[in-house]
Amino acid sequence: MARRDGEEVTYTTNDSPSLLEIVKRVMRSKKDCTYILLLASQEILEVSKRGKTLNAYLDDFAQIAGPSVQIVQEETTGFHGLKHRDALIVQGVGALCMGNSESDAHAVAALVQKDSKAALLGLSCAQVKPLPYLDTHLMRYVYKKKYAKLVCSSMGKGKVAMHKGI
């Protein structure tokens, strides 16, 4: 849906103006994001109707996508916490998955999809619970501070990129 190349941002969406506006605002507010894709699976659309956040059920989701992902309406004028998250779910539209590259965004998308299934599984299995709140934040913090840095370093990304995305 969007790709940043230096200072230039290209938007490829033909979707509604309100969705495009959300994407633009994400790109403006999240300077470390160079790529956004939209994933509109059946599971994500279902989750998008059922609350204000998608909690983390799985540790890789907490680390890479964020401790939780906010669900907003398409007409929203505000969202929060994107500094510490790499996805945003738009109700009835799908998940905006962000990354420092197309590959990173696809990794986030796969995790949002998996966690959406987990959330739906939780509707029918009482024992399926989200991860503890503090644990998810700790996982994300450790991942961003240590692990993501190493991955970017190994992929030859620059100093700026080393602190952003995976």
Contact set with other proteins (CB under 8 A): 57-60, 63-64, 107, 110, 113-114, 117-118, 120-125, 127-128, 131, 135, 138-139, 146-151, 153-155, 166
Min separation Cβ 38 and other proteins, Å: 20
User: Is beta strand 8-11 parallel, antiparallel or unpaired with respect to 2-5?
Assistant: antiparallel
> What is the rounded end-to-end Cα distance, in angstroms, of the chain?
19
Min separation Cβ 13 and other proteins, Å: 26
28 or 145: CB nearest other proteins? 145
Min separation Cβ 111 and other proteins, Å: 9
Q: Give me 119's structure tokens.
A: 């959330």
Task: State how far the Cα of 139 lies from the Cα of 137, in Å rounded to an integer.
Answer: 5
User: Is beta strand 68-72 parallel, antiparallel or unpaired with respect to 87-90?
Assistant: parallel
20 or 155: CB nearest other proteins? 155
89 or 131: CB nearest other proteins? 131
Min separation Cβ 71 and other proteins, Å: 20
9 or 58: CB nearest other proteins? 58
11 or 147: CB nearest other proteins? 147
Min separation Cβ 92 and other proteins, Å: 22
